Structure 1
Amino acid sequence: MKLERLNLFSEKGVATITIHNPPVNVLDVALMKELRHVLLTMRDRSDIRVLVFENANPDFFIAHVDMTLIDEPHAFDDIAREAPEGLNPFQALGELIREQPQVTIAKLAGIARGGGAEFVTAADMVFAAEGKAGLAQCEALMGIIPGGGGTQYLASCMTRARALEIILGADLIDAETAERYGWINRAIPLEQLDSFISRLANNIAALPKGVIAAAKLAMPVPDLGAGFLREHEAWAGLFAKPAAATLIRGGLAAGAQTRDGELDLEALLRGLNGYSSVDATVRNN
């Protein structure tokens, strides 16, 4: 497959995959196909031991799933047919990441919301830039809930109360808070992020043969099959309601998936829900 939205560079057992899908790195069909292709291809690369995912866009890692797909209900049909039984295509992408034989590292130097946040959370390790990175599961503001594994991944790395705060509070979470909640490994100053991850990735890649596989085997991921089914049914049920389509189309009309709109997407979506500036002032104080 010719890659148009991903740039690959490998050296000494470390493959760096840079996401570049202007203007805001939305997770559209084309990007998902390229991510799946890279993950599946890398499975058979014994010379590659670490995968590092990063964003070329200075503001966005992966904004979220492409909202314009609300009017293209069959856009993911091909990918859905390739998904394992019991998983929708978004859950299947997360599970591809979790099942990689390589160590997967998300270098978060921008915003990841919705499907982008789920992609990040599925990685083995996540390191985020202080003052620059942000994570959000803001689907509730669109009348739905996370449907790509977010409910299950969050419940696996933090308390139920904090996971519910993230899903129902639907706020953008900064790197420091994400670290405290257990969503990411560490929040790191932006100017140190590249060197820290480079050192870590190269140290892991240089380990004796068999160590990475043994460590990942000894620390198996939880079986989330039943939870994925509950999540999909709940997400699909809400997605089928008129409110979701109205809010998603309204968000696009108000500037979602443009740089300015995405920098404060939560405020944009709350405006559609009748969330006044007075309410916001009271809440922030």
Structure 2
Amino acid sequence: MTFENILVEKEAAIAVITINRPTKLNALNKATIQELHEAFKEMDASEEIRAIIVTGSGEKAFVAGADIAEFADFSTEQGSELAAKGQELLFDFVQNLSTPVIAAVNGFALGGGLELAMAAHFRTASSNAKMGLPEVTLGVIPGYGGTQRLPQLIGKGRAMELIMTAQMIDAATAHNYGLVNHVVEQADLLSFTKDIAQKIAKNSPSAIRHAIQAVNDNYKEGTNGFETEIKNFGTCFGTADFKEGTTAFLEKRKATFTGK
């Protein structure tokens, strides 16, 4: 599949999706959101891909927000539809993807950019990264899950402060808050993140898929994450990966997982 706004590279079991709108600091517009949806969907369906990294092109920005010109004259109904469609196509889609997604935040991650990074299963960042939700400076609130995921990741008080002040935080503060797992120099960010992805790729895709669902269900209203864990734990016993993993352990060899 050919894309205009993103690049997709595959390296063994790892896919790297790069948002490539450097003249717009990789800002998200509807076309880019659609392309990202298609790319994530394609990589998730691939039996070869075991982990996905999403990052931004260049050295300035991961994603510096949404393309404001695209919705500046929207009505109330259009605004609601924009948020609902974006969450469905990209942000909720990424959070619930069966294949692990790591956001490698290589610069500014603002507004929709931070919301995309937060939708990933976890985050790494370059030392020059800056993160924030500046939407209230435009008279609007975060609409792609920011008001929900930020408190989950850093706590209600800190999230309220960042949303209401619209202030950016640096990578060190983001790491201290637990918003990102690791901070490295920009030149090392992609290779460092690939190393983590390679560790993930060696493990059972089936088990990881069930673990993602169980963790996510803890944050879903009306869903009991403990019940999901019990069900998914039992389901794993019926998989080829469980058979291979336990057999390999008993035979003192490395397992070769198929994801089945």
Range of TM-score over shorter length: 0.7 to 0.9
Does 2:97 match 1:97? no
SS of the residue 2:45 aligns to? coil
**How many angstroms does 1:41 deviate by?**
2.1
| Residues 133/117 of structure 1: CA separation in 2 closer, same or farther (3 Å cut) | same
1:214–1:26 CA distance, 2 compared to 1 (3 A) = same
Per the alignment, in what secondary structure is the counterpart of residue 58 of structure 1? coil
CA RMSD of aligned residues (A): 2.3
Cα drift, residue 210 of structure 1: 2.4
Q: Aligned runs of 1:37-76 on 2, under 5 Å?
A: 37-71=38-72, 73=74
Structure-to-structure mapping, 1:1-285, within 5 angstroms: 1-23=1-23, 24-71=25-72, 73=74, 88-92=84-88, 93-130=90-127, 132-221=128-217, 222-223=219-220
8 Å CA contact 1:90–1:115 kept in 2: the answer is no
For the Cα contact (< 8 Å) 1:139–1:146, is it kept in 2? yes
Amino acid at match of 2:115: E
Q: Structure 1: where are the runs of 5+ without partners?
A: 226-285
Q: Specify the SS of the correspondent of 2:115.
A: helix
CA offsets 1:117-157 (integer angstroms, 9 cap, x no match):
10001100100011x11111001111111111000001111
Deviation track 1:2-32 (CA, whole Å, cap 9, x = no partner) reads: 3011111112210011110131111012111
Counterpart contact for 2:13–2:50, Cα < 8 Å:
yes
Note the C-alpha offset of 1:209: 4.6
Give the counterpart letter for 2:99 in structure 1. Answer: Q
Q: Provide the aligned length of Structure 1 versus Structure 2.
A: 217
Q: Could you report, residue by residue, the CA deviation over 1:62-108 in whole angstroms, capped at 9, with x for unpaired residues? A: 1111110234638x97xx5xx9xxx7123222101101111000111
Distance 1:224 1:105, change over 3 A: farther
SS at match of 1:88: helix
Calculate percent identity across the aligned residue pairs. Answer: 31
Distance 1:190 1:50 in 2: 21
Which protein, 1 or 2, shows the higher relative CO under an 8 Å CA cutoff with sep ≥ 6? Answer: 1
Indicate conservation of the 8 Å contact 1:90/1:149, yes or no: no
Q: Does the aligned pair in 2 maintain the 1:114–1:138 contact within 8 Å?
A: yes
- Please give the TM-score of this superposition, normalised by the length of structure 1: 0.70
- Cα pair 1:60 1:111 within 8 Å, conserved: yes
Q: Is the 8 A contact 1:18 1:54 kept in 2?
A: yes
Counterpart of 2:2 in structure 1: which amino acid?
K
